[in-house]
Amino acid sequence: MPTYTAPTRDTRFVVNEVLDLPSYGNLPGFESATPDMIDTVINEAGKFCAEVLAPLNQIGDQEGCTRHADGSVTTPTGFKQAYEQYRESGWGTLAHPEAHGGQGMPHVLGFVVEEFMATSNQAFAMYPGLTNGAISAIVAAGSDKQKETYVPKMVSGEWLGTMNLTEPHCGTDLGLIRTKAEPQADGSYAITGTKIFISSGEHDLTDNIIHLVLAKTPGAPDSSKGISLFIVPKVLVNEDGSLGEKNTLACGSIEHKMGIHGNSTCVMNYDGATGYMVGEENRGLAAMFIMMNAARLGVGIQGLGQAEVSYQNAVNYALDRRQGRALTGPAEPEAKADPIFVHPDVRRMLMDGKAFSEGMRALALWGALQVDLTHKAQTEEERERADMLISLMTPVIKGYGTDKGYAIATDMQQVYGGHGYIQEWGMDQFVRDARIAMIYEGTNGVQAMDLCGRKLARDGGKAIQAFFELVGDEVAAVKGTDLEDIGTALEKALGQQQQATMWFMQNAMQNPNQLGAGAHHYMTMMGIVTIGLMWLKMARVAAEALKGEPEDKAFYEAKLVTARYYADRFLPDCGALRRKIEAGSENLMTLGEEAFATAA
Amino acid sequence: MPTYTAPTRDTRFVVNEVLDLPSYGNLPGFESATPDMIDTVINEAGKFCAEVLAPLNQIGDQEGCTRHADGSVTTPTGFKQAYEQYRESGWGTLAHPEAHGGQGMPHVLGFVVEEFMATSNQAFAMYPGLTNGAISAIVAAGSDKQKETYVPKMVSGEWLGTMNLTEPHCGTDLGLIRTKAEPQADGSYAITGTKIFISSGEHDLTDNIIHLVLAKTPGAPDSSKGISLFIVPKVLVNEDGSLGEKNTLACGSIEHKMGIHGNSTCVMNYDGATGYMVGEENRGLAAMFIMMNAARLGVGIQGLGQAEVSYQNAVNYALDRRQGRALTGPAEPEAKADPIFVHPDVRRMLMDGKAFSEGMRALALWGALQVDLTHKAQTEEERERADMLISLMTPVIKGYGTDKGYAIATDMQQVYGGHGYIQEWGMDQFVRDARIAMIYEGTNGVQAMDLCGRKLARDGGKAIQAFFELVGDEVAAVKGTDLEDIGTALEKALGQQQQATMWFMQNAMQNPNQLGAGAHHYMTMMGIVTIGLMWLKMARVAAEALKGEPEDKAFYEAKLVTARYYADRFLPDCGALRRKIEAGSENLMTLGEEAFATAA
């Protein structure tokens, strides 16, 4: 059975040393994130996830969720009790504002908890995870009454929430949705339609589930400009906040999925269900994007999570399993064979896992800090800059983080050889669970177009210029130091990205397909450069720490080796990606559909 | 439900036009492969696989195999009837020598059938597929009596065969096996031990199953030099060839796997079972490699198969599913949305699928021709050259073919968006089935070491030099023609491979880890170059055909576009791979195991 240990040492390194969270003590909410509190959160959340959630992960996969004849759904054995523990511990309230019953702590710490949860049990983590998206939308666009009625109970975890976007015939193109919202005399709406792929759509964890549903009012424009957002509770809420009648909505079935079996992914049928409009009519898409952006960062963290947990297990297996001898001669001559850890190709896969997971963790938590600064930085300029950076980076964290997370999970499964294919060992679940993250909350192709089609050009390219400066400054800072080799490698990769950006500017105006044809390559390249930036940051911090003869010298030395490994083995892809982008759309778009048909 | 159409047009193109099979009519067996016969085989085998095997693929995944209390195993609904049809049609006997009851046709045609079978139903194809490996070993190393007793019935498909190598504690390192073979008074051996991951280990398709089992005789050297190979039939065979007593062996359980559920992957328990030594004592590894090499080519074809079938379905979905509008303006303004086929990122994935599948098909069938020439070419020199080339290429076909096959299947699943994750659509099965091919018959890391550690250096690098010449000649042939651009791109990629080869020569002698650290990258690079060679060959044939105003002009024009797409989007990776190889083993091997432990 697979195991999980929360990487608390590495997390403390990123939070305290790389991001230097304690230095932000002057910002609201950060003052309570004292070094002691940071340690406590990291350690206790790590313990909860490792001890309570991780042991339920394989059970969730094997049992899945069960829908009963009355439409009710039972989650896998142990999920309900674990959820109660989760609620009692207050992990879910950590980063929510105190005004909504939260603890008002930095999002950086919220993301730490989110990572540990997504890593130890992705399917479980989705129940509260999506609720956060729903809360964001109500907070941003809802009325005071709505905030008061729903938000505190969702923050406390008494109720959970969902996001209902997709319909059988539309996912990406939400302008096509058919779910109807008929205005009622009392100001509410009667919601009718079918939604699919609804994560946590029905379950036994809470007494109520607050569905956020996209629907169209009568006569609304027949496009994405005609979508409104509604709160549709599973159980209607009385004036005094108590639960009233059951609403006319139900889980029609549970989808049979490749993975995340522990999460109840439902077909939801709304049959004139009572709903309440959130924000303005026909402005649902904007509110939806608020949910979506929060959710996308969470999905990027899932990519990290499955890479991390599969890496941890692959390391254990590689140290335990003995096959063959080291190429340089027996490492353990007294044994019949050496651990496979000695084989360079096994080590290559493990180093890839280590370099990605540690680098991605730094990126995710750096991203969380930008979210905090967006709301809490002292000057408007700082707030805008943080917002600009996290907007730019969200599709990269989601898209590259999950593409690579899946690739790493696949490699970690490979370390197991034949045993990796056998379900008891648990590696195949990590791969199957990781697979969804490339798809939901906008496929990675959609992320790539969000990055290249929207974010790059916004405000005359201000955000991407700021990113280039960020990398350039970090490179400049190591010139003439022992880390210059890493800086030079990153500078070269950055140069490739800058060239590709220029190529888009010169070619995409006449023909937008030139952009579309290279968008996914560009997102990958930017992911590689961004994590390269994180490695250079980490290397600087480690080199600095090593000057002081620290107690865990080996930890910092390993950071330097891994940073160089990253420069050796990840950064070179940027050159190839630039060439692919510059190949343009011609040979990609030329063939008509008949050329794709299989001819007899 | 997914569909499958055998790509008969493309197969005829490769067999007749690219390989020019009819021109080998002077070789034994090839004379019966007349153009008419080639057409008949391709069309009828395609029909059988599309109509009989493909519809059972999803059923096999859902039902799996069932082991009963008495140890017997039932295959999924329909498999037994399909197997009977397969036997009656004689597809299995096609490329076996007439002396063994086969039809003596070229392996090229045998591989065509193997591709269609592996593509339409990989789990089913494995039952006869592994039998071919077992036959090869008996033919190569068995006694006349053994050949007479077992081979004709295995060729005819009356009995099926298996390969029993792996034990719970050893797979790659077969020197560690513990299964014992005690000599008996009658010259047979009593085989005792447990074997795992035995594909088709027990089933209801045939009355007898001929297990080929690796075991150690008493006092055998404690290494891979102490392994012998045994025939251990499920049911003992009487002198007259009739079935006698049941042997003392049994399927202990069926493994729970990520995929290929339709194949009965068994734990096999041998309890003093009667076995007959094949070839010489302690020479089992050599005989095993005969099985293995045949099997490895078959596994490479599985990589092609899952790429092809997932590609076909992704094309259908992309033409059917409507979301959003083309970047250049509505393609079908009268409809509410355009088919997702118009989106460049969807097209990128489809073109990747097309470029890989068609290129890999050419490579697999070119490989099959080398197998034929190894046995049948007129001069010793030609036979040796073919043998040298296919030995060099086997790990590339297996390793790169399956790595990329899995990546393509994953991309084709991505085309489906959320529906790709739902089992009913069948795309997740293609990914799960494709996953095993990177692992079995030697993990792809083992393939990479076979290529770089054994094959590159053999005979002073004669084989790789021959490969470089092969590519160089093809590049030279297009100089000054309309195809020069493709040739130049291939030449550049070849240059990267040559540099990497040189780097290995200069660095691996002092430190073999330098080789191990780059082996997987090298295998990938060589796969890319090799399929690039196939695309240049195909482009030449297509350009030639277009001079004659052929009827299906569009088919040949598509070949030219796809060859250029391949040059645009696949070949550039070679530069990055060379840089990774040249980064060497230092940063990869430096960290000790403590650096990989997750620290609290």
Domain match, B502 and B433 both: no
Write the CB contacts of A70 (distance below 8 Å, at least 6 apart in sequence). Answer: none
Q: Decide if A565 and B587 are in contact by the 8 Å CB cutoff.
A: yes
Collapsing DSSP to helix, strand or coil, A88 comes out as helix
How many angstroms separate the CA atoms of B350 and B356, rounded?
A: 10
Query: Does any CB of chain B come closer than 8 Å to the CB of residue A89?
Result: no
Q: Does A565 lie in the same domain as A516?
A: yes
CB-count exposure of residue A561 (10 Å: 0-12, 13-18, 19+)? buried
- The answer to whether position A507 is within a domain reads yes
Which of A7, A348, A422 lies closest to B256 in CB terms?
A422
Q: Residue length, chain B?
A: 600
Judge whether residue A564 has pLDDT over 90. yes
pLDDT greater than 80 at residue B600: no
pLDDT at B289: 85
Residue B9 in any domain: the answer is no
Together in a domain, B492 and B575: yes
How much is the average pLDDT of A286-311?
93
How far A469 CA lies from chain B's nearest CA (Å)?
25
Nearest CA in chain A to B587: A565
**DSSP string across B389-427:** HHHHHHHHHHHHHHHHHHHHHHHHHHHTGGGGGBGGGSH
Tell me what percent of chain A is helix, strand and coil, each rounded to the nearest 5: 60, 10, 25
**pLDDT score, position B292:** 84
Residue A457 lies in a domain: yes
Predicted pLDDT at A188: 98
A434, A299: one domain:
yes
The predicted-structure confidence for B440-497, as pLDDT tens digits, reads as follows: 999 999 999 999 999 999 999 999 999 999 999 999 999 999 999 999 999 999 999 9
Residue A600 above 90 pLDDT? no
Q: Which residue of B has its CA nearest to A418?
A: B439
Query: B525-571 pLDDT, tens per residue?
Result: 999 999 999 999 999 999 999 999 899 999 999 999 999 999 999 99
CB under 8 Å to B461, separation ≥6 — which residues? Answer: B501, B505
Q: How far is B341 from chain A (nearest CA, A)?
A: 8
Contact residues on chain A for B562, CB-CB shorter than 8 A: 587, 591
- For residue A70, the distance in angstroms to the closest alpha carbon of chain B comes to 23
Interface of B with A in 97-156 (CB under 8 A): none
Residue (of B429, B404, B408) closest to B2 by Cα position: B429
Calculate what percentage of chain B has a pLDDT beyond 70: 100
**pLDDT at residue A288, rounded to an integer:** 85
Alpha-carbon span A121 to A4, nearest angstrom: 10
Q: Is A468 on the interface with B (CB under 8 A)?
A: no
Torsion angles phi and psi, residue B407, rounded to 5: -60, -40
Q: Is B280 strand, coil or helix?
A: coil
Categorize the per-residue pLDDT at B29 as very low, low, confident or very high, splitting at 50, 70 and 90.
Answer: confident
Assign residue A408 the CATH number of its domain.
1.20.140.10
Q: Model confidence at A290, in pLDDT bands (50, 70, 90)?
A: confident
In chain A, pLDDT over 70 holds for what percent of residues? 100
B204 contacts: CB under 8 Å, gap ≥ 6: B72, B73, B74, B75, B80
Q: Report yes or no on A192 lying in a domain.
A: no
B367 Cβ contact partners less than 8 Å away, ≥ 6 residues apart: B111, B297, B300, B390, B393, B394, B397
* Ramachandran area for residue A197 (φ above 0: left; ψ -120 to 50: alpha; else beta): left
- Which among B343, B344, B422 is the nearest to A257, CB-wise? B422
Closest partner CB to A345 (pick from B5, B258, B448):
B448
State the catalytic residues of B. Answer: 441
Q: What pLDDT, on a 0 to 100 scale, did the predictor assign at position A435?
A: 98
Distances in whole angstroms, Cα of residue B354 to Cα of each of A49, A109, B137, B143, B565: 44, 46, 35, 46, 10
Residues 501-560 of A with CB under 8 A from B: 511-513, 515-517, 519-520, 552, 554-555, 558
* B172 contacts A417? CB cut-off 8 A: yes
Measured in angstroms, the CA of B113 and the nearest CA of chain A are apart by 15
Residues from chain B that touch A54, judged by Cβ atoms under 8 A, are none
Name the CA dihedral angle for B141, B145, B148, B149, rounded to a multiple of 10 degrees. -100
Comparing CA positions, the residue from A277, A279, A283, A181 lying closest to residue A224 is A283
Q: Does residue A599 register a pLDDT over 90?
A: no
Strand, helix or coil at B190? Answer: strand
Chain B residues with CB under 8 Å of A351 CB are 587-588, 591
Q: CB of B582 within 8 Å of any CB in chain A? A: no
Sequence letter at residue B599? A
Residues A439 and A471 in one domain: no
Instruction: Burial-class residue B340 by CB neighbours within 10 Å (0-12, 13-18, 19+).
Output: buried
Distance between first and last Cα of chain B: 48
**B299 and B408 both lie in a single domain:** yes
Residue A258 and residue B575: Cβ atoms within 8 Å? no
Q: Quick check: helix, strand or coil at residue A194?
A: strand
Cα–Cα nearest to A476, from A494, A463, A461: A494
Using a CB-CB cut-off of 8 Å, the residues of chain A touching B341 are 593, 596
Contact assignment for A595 to B561 by CB distance below 8 Å:
yes
28-47 of A, contacting B, C-beta below 8 A: 43, 46
Q: What is the spatial distance between Cα B174 and Cα B185, in angstroms, rounded to a whole number?
A: 28
CB pair distance less than 8 Å for A323 and B171? yes
How many whole angstroms separate alpha carbon B240 and alpha carbon B217?
29
3-state secondary structure of B294: helix
Residues above pLDDT 90, as percent of chain B: 96
A539 in a structural domain? yes
Rounded CA-CA distance B491/B181 in Å is: 53
Question: Which H/E stretch holds residue B537?
Answer: helix B513-547
The number of angstroms, rounded, from the C-alpha of B455 to the middle of its chain's C-alpha atoms is: 18
Flag whether A526 is in a domain. Answer: yes
Q: What is the mean pLDDT of residues B326-338?
A: 97
Q: Report pLDDT digits (tens) over A319-344.
A: 999 999 999 999 999 999 999 999 99
Q: Which of A327, A483, A510 to mutate to test the interface with B (most CBs of B within 10 A)?
A: A327
Q: Are residues B311 and B436 in the same domain?
A: yes
Q: What is the pLDDT of residue A294?
A: 82
> How far away is chain B from the Cα of A286, in angstroms, using its nearest Cα?
18
Number of domains comprising chain B: 2
Q: Please give the pLDDT value at position B599.
A: 77
Chain B residues in contact with A347 (beta carbon < 8 A): 517, 588-589
Residue with tokens 């952006």: A293
The residue among A119, A258, A571 with the most chain B CBs within 10 A of its CB, best to mutate, is A258
Domain that holds residue A513: 453-588
If asked whether residues B339 and B476 sit together in one domain, one would say: no
Looking at residue A338, the DSSP 8-state letter turns out to be -
From the list A511, A517, A593, which residue is nearest B319 (CB)? A593
Per-residue model confidence (pLDDT) at position B566: 98
Given CB atoms, is B361 within the 8 Å cutoff of chain A?
no
Min Cα distance A173 → chain B (Å) is: 5
User: Over the stretch B473-485, which tens digit does the pLDDT of each residue have?
Assistant: 999 999 999 999 9
CA-nearest residue to A560 within chain B is B587
> Which among B197, B438, B520 has the least Cβ separation from residue A345?
B520
Q: Which residues from chain B sit within 8 angstroms of residue A554, using beta carbons?
A: 594-595
Q: State chain B's maximal CA–CA distance in angstroms.
A: 84
Distance from the Cα of A348 to chain B's closest Cα (Å) equals 6
Query: Residue B216 pairs with which residues in a beta bridge?
Result: B180
Instruction: Determine the pLDDT at residue A29.
Output: 87
Determine, for residues B424 and A344 on separate chains, whether the beta-carbon distance falls below 8 Å.
no
Of B176, B520, B587, the CB nearest to A564: B587
Listed residues B411, B443, B475: the one ending a domain:
B443
Amino acid sitting at position B574:
C
- Residue B287: pLDDT band (50, 70, 90) is confident
Q: What three-state secondary structure class fits B539? A: helix
Residues 6+ apart with CB under 8 A from B51: none
> Which residues touch A116 (CB under 8 Å, ≥6 apart)?
A6, A45, A46, A48, A49, A50
Instruction: Please report residues of A whose CB lies closer than 8 A to that of B432.
Output: 258, 428, 432
CA distance B330 to A517: 17
Q: Do both A296 and A436 map to the same domain?
A: yes
Say if the Cβ atoms of B436 and A421 lie within 8 Å: yes
In eight-state DSSP terms, residue A142 is S
| Domain limit, last residue, from A391, A419, A443 | A443
Bridge partners, residue A193, by sequence: A270
Average pLDDT over residues B411-422: 98
The amino acid at residue A445 is G
Q: Does A348 touch chain B (CB under 8 A)?
A: yes
pLDDT tier, A292 (very low <50, low <70, confident <90, very high otherwise): confident
B346 near A519, Cβ under 8 Å?
A: no
Given a cut of 90, is residue B290 above it in pLDDT? no
| Distance to chain A for B464, nearest Cα, Å | 22
Name the strand (E) or helix (H) holding B150. Answer: helix B144-156
Specify whether A336 is located in the same domain as A474: no
Find the catalytic residue in A441, A469, A484, A586: A441
Residue of B nearest to A427 (CA): B258
CB atoms within 10 A of CB B425: 18
Query: pLDDT by residue (tens digit) across A418-476?
Result: 999 999 999 999 999 999 999 999 999 999 999 999 999 999 999 999 999 999 999 99
Q: B462 and B430 in one domain? A: no
Report the C-alpha gap between B355 and B560 in whole angstroms.
11
pLDDT tens string A189-220: 999 999 999 999 999 999 999 999 999 999 99
Please report the DSSP string for A235-261 in residue order: EEE-TTS-EEEEPSEEEEEE--BSS-T
Task: Nearest chain B residue to A314 by CA: give it.
Answer: B596
- From chain B, the residues in CB contact with A431 under 8 A are 258, 435
Q: How many CB atoms lie within 10 A of CB B99?
A: 12
How far is residue B544's CA from residue B423's CA, in Å, rounded to a whole number?
44
Q: Say yes or no: B574 and B465 in one domain.
A: yes
Residue A5 Cα, gap to closest chain B Cα (Å): 7
Residue from the list B351, B410, B513 with its beta carbon closest to the beta carbon of A328: B513
Kindly identify which residue of chain A lies nearest to residue B445, measuring between CA atoms: A345
- Contact assignment for B600 to A6 by CB distance below 8 Å: yes
DSSP SS3 for A278: strand
Number of residues written out for chain A:
600
Cα atoms in the Cβ-side hemisphere of radius 13 Å centred on B275: 31
Question: What number of other Cβ atoms are within 10 A of residue A509's Cβ?
Answer: 11
Q: What span, in angstroms and rounded, lies between the C-alpha atoms of A166 and A175?
A: 11
**Does B474 map to a domain?**
yes
Dihedral of CA B484/B485/B490/B494: which sign? positive
What are the distances in angstroms from CA A328 to CA A317, A324, A340, A346?
Answer: 21, 12, 13, 15
Contact indicator for B552, B509 with CB cutoff of 8 Å: no
Q: Which of B379, B409, B443 is the last residue of a domain?
A: B443
Q: Which two tokens stand for residue B254?
A: 């069926």
pLDDT for residue A289: 85
Query: Is A423 an interface residue toward B (CB < 8 Å)?
Result: yes
- Tell me, yes or no, whether B513 lies in a domain: yes
Beta-bridged to residue A246, according to DSSP, are A235
Dihedral sign, Cα of residue A464, residue A465, residue A469, residue A472: positive
Contact B513 A322 (CB under 8 A): no
pLDDT confidence of residue B294? 82
